[in-house]
Structure formats: structure tokens, C-alpha cells
Amino acid sequence: MQITLESGPLERIDAEALIVPVFEGRPESRFGAADLAGEVTGKSLELTILHHVSGVAAIRVLLAGGGKPEKFNAAEQRRMVGAAVRHLKSKSVKRIALALDPGYASPEFAQAAVEGAILGDYDPDTYKTDEKKAVQSFSVAAAAHGGKLEQAVARGKIIGEAQNYTRALVNEPANRLTPSDMVAAAQETAIHYGLECQILERDEMAKLGMGALLGVAQGSAEPPALIVLRYQPASSKSGAHLGLVGKGVTFDTGGISIKPADGMEKMKYDMAGGAAMIGAMRAIAQLKPAIPVTAFVPCVENMPGSRAQRPGDIVTAMSGKSIEVINTDAEGRLILADALTYARSQGCTHLVDAATLTGAVVVALGHLHVGLFSNDDGLRDRVLSASKSEGERMWPMPLDEDYKDYLKSAFADLANVGGRWGGAITAAIFLKEFAEETPWVHLDIAGTAWLDDAKPYLAKGPTGLPVRTLVRLALDWEA
């Protein structure tokens, strides 16, 4: 999609459709809207198309509801524009412009508008053979045409495209996205955007003692890999080194503890955390924050092959801790354990991991909030601040040391599951053992990385979350 910034009278904006925000309690008198009293209320995501408006170059004017003005923020702008673009796209409109409302014309709102348009244009229909609908161009129209707005529009394009790249990776079926294909995607990203890329293969991981990761991989014919993507700024003042760790299980059968057949096809999304890290690094490489950032993505298939690990097996992680595998479907925490240890060995001073880790977090928080766990209040607050700015909702969860009692094992240092109660918390407690004293945040995105039903502003399927939060965290680190 071509993205541009335009200035001048709205009446002269040449587009197939011009999106005009309208708000509750603030009557819109332009474009003949005064004649629609009672029909156009300005309620959030309400959409009304006007055709052939006198004195307007655009073929259509779309009045898009922003809700109550006092509650309208960048996140609402993103959703409103996404809904408007999806509505117009369904009608085969290809050239769209947005009239920035004068009350919300800051760079933050311009960036959010571009992100909303790009995200709204995405559909998970790669393998459908019918003709695809796509928006060709999106313009942000503002009264003033300043350098800060230009930068914001460019930044929105980078971040929106990175999030859609993540969504496209997550949407790939497991026969077309194996661990080796994840490696290829990371290598292509590194080449195109100037990142350093290192791939640890089975033998090297074995030498490093990554028994937890390799134990998960041993049931599959597909070889495992640990992807490492590095971004190094020209200079850094803080001394911080941010490590991003993402779960990359390209398909999860549950292993010997096999999952029910119902819904198992969705388990292609079990690499959403890893895809988010690759997408975030793509944006970080272009936006160039002032701190070094390294992503670590352990990639495996969890299959019930003849060599698969069994319940009751004991593996030794890279940290030296022994783990009793009670349930082979709790595999994500095993591969993340070794990735977190390796990230610490590479000098990362702060760690954030993201994983579709537990069904328990969906029971606790539904599909609206990411479960956030942390061993460090400062890093927790940084991530929460970034997520709030980006409209990616997260909720801090408890991580009391007493929860470790659920992971006791008579035969190893700890078990990989803790029973029925507090499943999302015990999974995070398990990971905390491998983050050790390094400031760390764990994001359980099992309920938020995938939409089972489309939203007006977002297609059904992968969401690309939490790419925007991770990018904002890196950009704001030294602010």
C-alpha cells in the first residue's frame, strides 16, 4: 500500500473515498451531514457513506464514528481507521484518504491512522484462489504539512508493515512454515534490514547443553533451530541490552500428551511469540533505537514421533537445572528456558519473552488482555507504559515465590507443570527460574495472538501482537 501525507483544503483531496471522523455530541455540518441528523451519531466505529458530495473532489465521503471526544486517543484512531478501511475495501475502493481531525492532528494520531489503515487492509486469504481485494493507496490529509507529521507517517508505515509481516508468518500453515522456514524468514529479514543473524543448529545446541529445547524437538523429523537476530546502535548511553525471546513452536500436537482433535489446526499459531520478535526486529532495524536489541527465537515442532520425549522423562537445561517432564504439551516453557539462559549468556541486561503459553491465561483474562508477569517492577512498568501507549492491553499478574511449591518434583529440580490451579502463574514461575536475577517480563499471549472472530478493524486470524509494544519499549528506553 502506498502511503502519503497531503495538505490543503479537504474539498480538493482526490480519492475514491475521504474518511472524515465524527464524534458524539459534536454535530458535523460539512458534506451534507447536517441533513442526516439522527442517522449520524458519531458513536464509535459507526460508518456512514455519502456519495457525490457537492464541492468535494473525492467520489465518496465516509463519516467514521470516533465516539466521545474526551475518550478519543491514538488507539481509538487506529481502530476507527482500520474499520473504515476494511469497510471501504469490501466495496472495492482502492484509493483512500483520511482527513485528520483538527483536534487530533498530532504526529501520534497521524502514525496511528497509518497503522490502522495497513492493519485493516490485511486479510488471511493467501491461499484462496479468488481475486484479492486490496487498497492501493492511503493518504493522511492535514491542514499543515510539517516534518514531524512526515516522520510520524513514515514510522506508522514501518510499524504497520512489521505487524502485518508477523501476522503473515503466523498465518502460514505448518506444512509451509517449519522451523527451517522460520530460519529462512529471519535470514531474509536480516539481509534486507541490516541485522546480524546467527542460527544455532542441533549439534551446537547440544554442546551448549540445551537439553530442555532438544527434548521437545526430538519427536519431529524437522530439525530444531535457535534464531538470533542482533541490532546494534551507533552509540548507547544507558548500558542496557534488551533481549526479546519468542516461542517458535511451528506446530504443537502436544507430543505424547496429545491434544484433542477439536481446534488442533489452530496450533500453527504456536509460533506467534517468535514471529512477533522477528517482526519487531524488522521495525527496530529501521527505526534505530538508542539501545542494542537482540531477539532469540527457539524453533521446534512438537510431534509424537517414535523418538518423542515421554511423560516422566528428565532433561537437563542449559542452566544446569534438571526438569521432570510431567506433560509434553507444556513444551513452550522448556524451549524458552534454554533460550532465556542463552540470552543471559549473551549479555542481555533486560529480558522480555512472549509466548502462546497457556490456556489458563485465557480462562483468567479472556481474549482481551495479555497476561504480564515480571520479577522487576521497573521493567514491568516500562512494558505496561509502552503497551498502554500502543493500545495493546496487558494486565499484571502475581508471581509470588510460594507458587513454586506447585512445581516440586521428587526426582528433579522442578517439574514442567504444576497441576490444575494457577496454570498461567506456575508457567511463569517456571520461566522465572531461568531468567534468574535478570530483570524480566513474560507476556502470555495465548488469548490475544489470534482472533477467532473478525473485528470491524481487524481480520479473523493472527493479530501480530505485541509487536508495537516491543518496538515502543525499545524506542522509549532512553527517553
Strand order in the sheet with 414-415: 314-316, 322-324, 414-415
Residue 418 DSSP SS3? coil
> Which residue's C-alpha cell is 457513506?
49
Strand order in the sheet with 2-7: 2-7, 137-142, 95-99, 17-22, 60-65, 47-51
Helices (H), 346-453: 360-365, 377-390, 423-435
Give the amino acid at 158: I
The helix-helix angle for 147-171 and 467-475 (nearest 10°) equals 140
CA pair distance 300, 409, nearest whole angstrom? 26
CA pair distance 145, 7, nearest whole angstrom? 6
CA distances from 124 to 130, 156, 272 (A): 13, 21, 15
CA pair distance 354, 463, nearest whole angstrom? 14
Helices (H), 263-330: 272-287
Active site residue 148: no
Burial profile 109-136: b = 16 or more Cβ within 10 angstroms, e = fewer = bbbbbbbbbbbbbbbbeeeeeeeeeebe
Within 10 Å of residue 241's Cβ, how many Cβ atoms? 19
- Per annotation, catalytic residue among 230, 247, 268, 333: 333
- Which residues 6+ apart lie within 8 Å of 247 measured at CB? 270, 271, 272, 273, 274, 298, 332, 335, 336, 353, 354, 355, 356, 357
User: What DSSP string describes 109-122?
Assistant: HHHHHHHHHHHHH-
> Cα angle vertex 195, ends 194, 199, to 5°?
135
Nearest CA among 436, 302, 272, 243 for reference residue 370:
272
Active site residue 259: yes
Nearest CA among 303, 300, 326, 305 for reference residue 315:
326
Residues 211, 318 contacting (CB under 8 angstroms): yes
- Per annotation, catalytic residue among 202, 259, 321, 388: 259
CA pair distance 320, 314, nearest whole angstrom? 12
Within 10 Å of residue 347's Cβ, how many Cβ atoms? 10
Give the amino acid at 78: R
**Catalytic residue positions, numbered:** 259, 333
